[in-house]
Structure 1
Amino acid sequence: MQSSHKAQYRVRSMLARVMLGAALVLPAAVPAQGSAAEPTLALPDFTEVVARTEASVVNIRTTETVRIRNSGFGRGGSGDPYELFRWFFGPDFAPPGFEGPQGRGAPQQPAPEERTVPRGVGSGFFISDDGYVLTNNHVVDRASDIFVTLTSGKEYKATVVGTDPRTDVALLKIDAKNLSPLPIGDSTKLRKGQWVLAIGSPFGLDSTVTSGIISAINRETGDYLPFIQTDVAVNPGNSGGPLINLAGEVVGINSQIVSRSGGFMGISLAIPIDEVMRIVEQLKADGKVTRGRIGVQIGQVSEDVAKALGLEKAQGALVSMVERDGPAAKAGVQSGDVITHFDGKPIAQMTDLPRMVGSTRPGTKSALEVWRKGKTVKLDVVVGEMPNEAPAAGSGSQAPEAMKTDALGLQVADIDAETRKNQRISGGVQVMAVEEPAASAGLAPGDIILTVNNVDIKDAAQFAKVVSGLDKSRASALLVMRGDQSQWVTVVPRK
């Protein structure tokens, strides 16, 4: 009887715990009367966007005409038994006593054979109703013929209006009317996390749609343009296709993938459509792109250099070399200057400058602001065309005897008149020997030091005086010239 009571007690306890658990769960699962339910976020529906844009995207296939050299042996050969010897001894080889079609000793030259072979596939899209197509330059580069296939299956032969290899943009034209161009969006308004679509022909599979989000904006890869980074699946064959926002507007051209395998690995890069359309204007007008230049080599402004030069923050483009007789030199730009503004626009990082200058028409007079010796200097520069490499500079002088290493770990000497003339400098000292801490900063014998913490160096005696007065608790900035280039180097003097 007692065991029966215990069993009933255990059952009642179990039921009580179940009811209590239900009471605790129910309020979270079912909102109380009068209270608002938590909003539910659903994935976007891409079907309407695809329906509006798919007909604007085309497949591009290219062919290339190549010359086939007959081997003289096997199927399709010329039948000339001496062709193999000509691979080793040159096309004019002929055995003694050989009499060819041009007479005794003349070689028998088979006529070259040309074949048209498939070269590759890519994607593109219409930007006008009269047949202008945008794609990547690498899709059509070196192609003999270009064929554009619409989603309806109709194929057209395309002509190249113009290409810009530097930005990997190509503009094509087909003879067709009443087409469906993609509306052009504003790539400057893109935000991280925004949904986007790619439509193209990966691996030749035309009209393939993939989706993802914007992963990064203004992604620097060392190229001329900043890229839009996405996680949209882009594979070989997608190149030249559009990157589309949820409004059905093209915001970029899919151009590259970051991959170790050759296939999609979660990172793809697109060219911003704003940059592309500026290029299209020039391609339509001239068939090529003309870029501006001012004739400087630049580097990034580090935090240490910014502090040493008195800049509020690390921004701008640090001038490491000024091209002789170039636009910047004529405007008064000097090595060691930090260009902070171009045409009134701030330069947040050094890569902003070549884009600003490159998009400026040659011959334009533009305003420069540079930071020099603790203050802003305003200059006017007439923009030229595409930079050329400057000639190498002459060598320096030999080391004098018995010199003492200073607090920077340097032994320096005065620069002879010939070197100053060759380098076009009026002062400075030449590094003869290097110890720590200068060695760790990258200085080497032969370097020329022009400035220390905004103080121009005239000779070795003045340099020694400046170094002796340096604050040993903080880094000092040295403007160092090596060859034809100069850069700021920071060194903390030893105590």
Structure 2
Amino acid sequence: MTQSKTTGAMIMALLMWLMLSSTAHARGGLPDFTELVAENGEAVVNISTKSKPSEAMASSPFPPGMEMPEGTPFDDFFRRFFGDPSQPRAPQPSSLGSGFVLSADGFILTNHHVIKDADEIIVRFSDRTELVAELLGSDERSDVALLKVDAEGMNLKAVKLGDSNDLKVGEWVLAIGSPFGFDYSATAGIVSALGRSLPSDSYVPFIQTDVAINPGNSGGPLFNLDGEVIGINSQIYSRTGGFMGVSFAIPVDVVMDVVDQIKSQGYVSRGWLGVVIQDVTRELAESFGLSKPRGALVSRVIAGSPAEKAGFQAGDVILKFDDRTVDASSDLPPIVGRTAIGKKSKAEIMRNNKMMTLSVVVEELPEDEQIASGSSPRTGQFHDSRLAMEVTDLSAEQRAELGPNQSGVTVRKIESGPAAEAGIAPGDVILSINNEKVVDAKQFIEVAKNLPTNKAIPVLVQRSGASQFLALKIPE
């Protein structure tokens, strides 16, 4: 009896082990995307555009100034091969991309760059039905465009929308689109990173994936494993023009904010603070009294901006805005951009090693941020042996470029020493040093004499029109 019980217990233990082993294997295996593709393939569309040729191209096949006179012996020959220049040419396909059905009443989403400058937009569905779409609105900064087709009697299949805020790095995702014109191609991968900022798109916290995205995928949906759209495939990083393992998608929450604004007001507006910012390095963190690199360092405050009105200064480190933490400088533009126009927001900053809170009323981001100019020239020139550099007063042109109420010195010469090690270069304009505004070359030398040693000192420089902080350290 005892042996029977022992044998039974061993069999039960073996069965339990097999069940657990099977479950672990299933969890560790690759996901099956077949149902996801079958359920959502019909909601993905192919988008092509047509653009009319320019007047010059429509009127003559020859370069300007080299037109063939009428009545020449070759007139019939060129008309046969190039067409009659007096007859307008038909619009030609100029763009190919992807999109998806947002709702059954005919709203379609794609990228702005897919339909940019198009005279006609054609949407092709999975059953090969083609419809001309109306462009309701597009936003270049977020690269989102909203289209509308007449969907009466079509029974369109629409996608389900997810929440991009719930995404996690390492999560499986799937893209469906038309790479190189190969319709309804499915590619899969994982989320590589979240909140990526690209140089040309600072208002979009991109989703980075390793999903294979190529020309033609633009505007197509990015799905999670629940079959929900969590982004629009928009860009790739490539040195060859093809896929290299780094793709970027616009989060669906950003997309829907754009859609809601286009539907309600016909255009997209964004919040504006009016500061030029940079990342905080380890050396700069020390110089500004931070325990570690974090926040957005203000290198310039734009004249007349909300930031200037609120009292922001170059050298402030923005750590929180509107109760949202700013870990890196790239976090700030999307936060400010999605803040309601006219809203009074609070910013927590570090200034001169002290925490402060500023109140700022966010304004609408202008199309062109212009800086006023004008001032008078100076001619002083001085050398500082401790920093191993030579500075001179600003020229009239430099003062005009910097604008009113702004001053500084030009770096004329750099020798081997602390300034060179900090990254200061000839031609840089030094605007402040150790959080003290630079007035002219003579004052700069006086300030430099009293700089502490063996301590990271912030130096604000302007180079090629952009301001940035550098960390200077003077040895004993």
Bin for the TM-score computed over the shorter chain = 0.7 to 0.9
Aligned to 1:218: 195
User: SS of the counterpart of 2:262?
Assistant: helix
Q: Is residue 58 of structure 1 aligned with residue 33 of structure 2? A: no
Q: Is residue 179 of structure 1 aligned with residue 160 of structure 2? A: no
Distance (Å, rounded) in 2 between the aligned partners of 1:462 and 1:87: 58
Q: Is residue 342 of structure 1 aligned with residue 329 of structure 2? A: no
Cα distance, 1:132–1:439 mapped onto 2, change above 3 Å: same
Which of 171, 179, 182 is 1:194 aligned to? 171
User: SS of the counterpart of 2:290?
Assistant: coil
Tell me the amino acid that sits aligned with residue 329 of structure 1: E
Deviates more, 1:344-353 or 1:241-250: 344-353
Deviates more, 1:378-387 or 1:391-400: 391-400
Distance (Å, rounded) in 2 between the aligned partners of 1:154 and 1:138: 23
Which of 115, 131, 136 is 1:156 aligned to? 131
Aligned to 2:77: none
Tell me the amino acid that sits aligned with residue 43 of structure 2: S
Matches for 1:246-265 after TM superposition, within 5 Å: 246-265=225-244
Aligned to 2:472: 491
* Contact 1:448–1:482, Cα closer than 8 Å, also in 2: no
How far does residue 169 in structure 1 lie from its aligned partner after superposition? 0.7
Cα distance, 1:494–1:242 mapped onto 2, change above 3 Å: same
How far does residue 172 in structure 1 lie from its aligned partner after superposition? 0.5
How far does residue 468 in structure 1 lie from its aligned partner after superposition? 4.8
Stretches of structure 2 that go unaligned for 5 or more consecutive residues are 1-11, 72-83
Aligned to 2:424: 442
* Contact 2:380–2:393, Cα closer than 8 Å, also in 1: no
Cα distance, 1:90–1:315 mapped onto 2, change above 3 Å: farther
Distance (Å, rounded) in 1 between the aligned partners of 2:315 and 2:418: 22
User: SS of the counterpart of 2:215?
Assistant: coil
How far does residue 393 in structure 1 lie from its aligned partner after superposition? 6.1
Distance (Å, rounded) in 1 between the aligned partners of 2:383 and 2:48: 70
Aligned to 2:453: 472
How far does residue 161 in structure 1 lie from its aligned partner after superposition? 0.9
Distance (Å, rounded) in 2 between the aligned partners of 1:154 and 1:110: 34
Cα distance, 1:396–1:488 mapped onto 2, change above 3 Å: farther
Deviates more, 1:484-493 or 1:53-62: 484-493
Tell me the amino acid that sits aligned with residue 270 of structure 2: R
Percent identity, aligned pairs only, is: 44
Cα distance, 1:139–1:492 mapped onto 2, change above 3 Å: same
Distance (Å, rounded) in 2 between the aligned partners of 1:131 and 1:205: 23
Distance (Å, rounded) in 2 between the aligned partners of 1:459 and 1:111: 65
Cα distance, 1:475–1:395 mapped onto 2, change above 3 Å: farther
Aligned to 1:139: 114
How far does residue 319 in structure 1 lie from its aligned partner after superposition? 1.4
How far does residue 288 in structure 1 lie from its aligned partner after superposition? 1.7
Distance (Å, rounded) in 2 between the aligned partners of 1:66 and 1:478: 52
Aligned to 1:24: none
Cα distance, 1:423–1:431 mapped onto 2, change above 3 Å: farther
Which of 269, 274, 277 is 1:295 aligned to? 274
Stretches of structure 1 that go unaligned for 5 or more consecutive residues are 1-30, 73-83, 96-108
Q: Is residue 333 of structure 1 aligned with residue 312 of structure 2? A: yes
Distance (Å, rounded) in 2 between the aligned partners of 1:145 and 1:462: 62
Distance (Å, rounded) in 2 between the aligned partners of 1:298 and 1:194: 32
How far does residue 466 in structure 1 lie from its aligned partner after superposition? 5.7
Aligned to 1:405: 384
Cα distance, 1:399–1:266 mapped onto 2, change above 3 Å: same
Aligned to 1:27: none
Cα distance, 1:112–1:391 mapped onto 2, change above 3 Å: farther
* Contact 1:396–1:430, Cα closer than 8 Å, also in 2: no
Tell me the amino acid that sits aligned with residue 472 of structure 1: T
How far does residue 292 in structure 1 lie from its aligned partner after superposition? 1.7
Distance (Å, rounded) in 2 between the aligned partners of 1:426 and 1:233: 49
Aligned to 1:76: none
How far does residue 284 in structure 1 lie from its aligned partner after superposition? 1.2
How far does residue 431 in structure 1 lie from its aligned partner after superposition? 5.7
Distance (Å, rounded) in 2 between the aligned partners of 1:70 and 1:480: 52
Distance (Å, rounded) in 1 between the aligned partners of 2:141 and 2:226: 30
* Contact 2:53–2:91, Cα closer than 8 Å, also in 1: yes
Give CA deviations for 1:190-209 in whole Å, capped at 9, x if unaligned. Answer: 22222111112222222222
Aligned to 1:45: 32
Tell me the amino acid that sits aligned with residue 471 of structure 2: T
Distance (Å, rounded) in 2 between the aligned partners of 1:257 and 1:486: 29
Aligned to 1:165: 140
* Contact 2:373–2:404, Cα closer than 8 Å, also in 1: no
Distance (Å, rounded) in 1 between the aligned partners of 2:452 and 2:60: 76
Deviates more, 1:259-268 or 1:52-61: 259-268
How far does residue 315 in structure 1 lie from its aligned partner after superposition? 1.5
User: SS of the counterpart of 1:265?
Assistant: coil
Give CA deviations for 1:430-487 in whole Å, capped at 9, x if unaligned. Answer: 76654322134315467345342x4567888886676455443333223446798654
Tell me the amino acid that sits aligned with residue 355 of structure 1: P
Which of 338, 350, 354 is 2:333 aligned to? 354
Distance (Å, rounded) in 2 between the aligned partners of 1:347 and 1:340: 5
Tell me the amino acid that sits aligned with residue 105 of structure 2: D
Aligned to 2:346: 367
How far does residue 273 in structure 1 lie from its aligned partner after superposition? 0.9
* Contact 2:430–2:438, Cα closer than 8 Å, also in 1: no
Deviates more, 1:224-233 or 1:140-149: 224-233
Aligned to 1:124: 99
Give the TM-score of the pair, scaled to structure 1: 0.77
Q: Is residue 312 of structure 1 aligned with residue 291 of structure 2? A: yes
Distance (Å, rounded) in 1 between the aligned partners of 2:249 and 2:437: 45
Distance (Å, rounded) in 2 between the aligned partners of 1:65 and 1:413: 55
Q: Is residue 390 of structure 1 aligned with residue 365 of structure 2? A: no
How far does residue 136 in structure 1 lie from its aligned partner after superposition? 0.9
The structure having more radius of gyration, on CA atoms, is: 1
How far does residue 313 in structure 1 lie from its aligned partner after superposition? 2.1
Matches for 1:257-296 after TM superposition, within 5 Å: 257-296=236-275
* Contact 1:321–1:484, Cα closer than 8 Å, also in 2: no
Give the TM-score of the pair, scaled to structure 2: 0.80
* Contact 1:162–1:287, Cα closer than 8 Å, also in 2: yes
